[in-house]
């Protein structure tokens, strides 16, 4: 699978894949579940529980992936991510 702008999968679809970006190679371990921290205002304002509610309802509470580094390296802005 090659990641393209029209990729419509989610974190679960990437589980087990190997991602390559520049000279970096990662193996996707699992989705990351978001916690209440996403509702906090980094500037110190009031928290907003709507954020976590949206993530839970629309994204299975996932907002990222855990990866194991297979090959450390360099990645640059604009480089394509490919997976297999």
Q: What are 41's two structure tokens?
A: 């205002």
User: What are the backbone angles phi and psi of residue 82, rounded to the nearest 5°?
Assistant: -120, 155
Q: Where are the domains of the chain?
A: 11-79
3-state DSSP: the chain helix, strand, coil percent, rounded to 5?
25, 35, 45
Q: pLDDT tier at 70 (50, 70, 90 boundaries)?
A: very high
Q: pTM score > 0.75 for this model?
A: no
4-61 pLDDT per residue, tens: 566 677 888 889 999 999 999 999 999 988 777 778 888 888 888 888 888 888 888 8
pLDDT number for residue 58: 84
Share of the chain above pLDDT 90, in %: 36
């Amino acid at each position: 699978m090659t990641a393209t702008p029209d990729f419509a999968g989610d974190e679960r679809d990437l589980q087990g894949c190997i991602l390559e970006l520049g000279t970096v190679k990662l193996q996707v371990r699992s989705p990351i579940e978001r916690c209440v921290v996403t509702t906090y205002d980094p500037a110190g304002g009031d928290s907003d529980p709507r954020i976590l509610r949206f993530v839970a309802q629309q994204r299975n509470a996932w907002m990222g992936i855990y990866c194991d580094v297979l090959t450390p390296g360099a990645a640059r802005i604009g480089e394509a991510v490919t997976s297999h």
